[in-house]
Amino acid sequence: MSTIYGLSDIHGYYKEMLDSLSLVDLKSDQSNKLIFVGDYISRGPDSCAVLYHIKQLEQTYPGQVVVLSGNHDQMFLDWFFSDLENHWLAADIQLRTTKSFFEPSQWNIIYDKLVDLQGAPFKMSQLIKDELERKHGELIKWLLTKNKSFFYETDNQIYVHAGISEVDPELWKHATEESEFTWKYPAETGPFYKDIIAGHISSAEVAGDESYLGRVYWDQENHFFIDGDTPRSKTIPILKYETKTKTYSSFEKTVDGKWIEYRITELN
């Protein structure tokens, strides 16, 4: 019996990601899979470390780890590979994500150069790109390979960062615009012919219930929302799916910091 694990919206929270990944078993069964559903960077302090760890997992478990793209990942790549797009850098508050790619001493040198370029935003942007390319070129090339990885489909599920067009079950792959895969808002709920596992929008927001902060929300139909709003909850929920029993479960922490598994859907 193989297992599929899904998690999303890590947002640069490396320690929290490692804590959640401790619940994932890829070793005992090579048919087990781990689906990363996007938004690995921005907001948290360790975006660079998050990317390197996911890249290493993909290399260590070939065919078992799937890495999808989220809107924050797309914005970063749009900025990096465009001479005109500066939106991502402008949205990087206090350059927190950018700084995660450099040691403090390296960043101090770069920062002094940026100060000298004040008033020339495109030159400042290009300086940062050049330094990222020099230090992390292979990592960025790897991330670029995920640029069009918008969904992962199984016999019973669709994993996607934000959502899909659900107007016609037979035509969703053609009807969904690229921006919907990573930016769809608001969340859609209700019945669909496959289960849709998505991040992007906080599970608490979709549920309209703050008790779902840091937890998975199931709409009692075919939608599972797994964005735990990590910056607020400091928790990255894991959705676990058993392919034989077709049941979903997740985990929550006890007051003493231990993970306890709980079932979301019941056996048919």
Question: Which candidate, 204, 206, 156, places its Cα nearest to that of 186?
Answer: 206
Residue reference for tokens 């709920």: 189
Label residue 13 by pLDDT band (50, 70, 90): very high
pLDDT for 108:
95
Q: What is the per-residue DSSP string for 235-256?
A: ----EEEETTTTEEEEEEE-TT
Residue 34 has pLDDT above 80, yes or no: yes
**pLDDT for 268:** 58
**What is the pLDDT averaged over residues 206-231?**
97
Asked if residue 70 lies in contact with residue 39, where contact means CB atoms within 8 angstroms, the answer is yes
Q: What is the dihedral of CA 159, 163, 169, 174, to 10 degrees?
A: -100
| Confidence grade of residue 267 (pLDDT, cut at 50, 70, 90) | low
pLDDT 10s digits, 122-154: 898 999 999 999 999 999 999 999 998 999 999
Tokens representing 221 are 């139909």
Buried b (16+ CB within 10 A) or exposed e, 84-107: eeeebbeebeeeebbbbbbeeeeb
| Whole-prediction pTM | 0.95
Task: Give yes or no for residue 118 having a pLDDT over 70.
Answer: yes
Q: Which residues have a Cβ under 8 Å from the Cβ of 186 and sit 6 or more positions away?
A: 201
Instruction: Enter the DSSP assignment of 41.
Output: S
Tens digit of pLDDT for each residue in 151-162? 999 999 999 999
The predicted structure's pLDDT at residue 1: 67
Q: How confident is the model at residue 119 (pLDDT cuts 50, 70, 90)?
A: confident
pLDDT at 84: 67
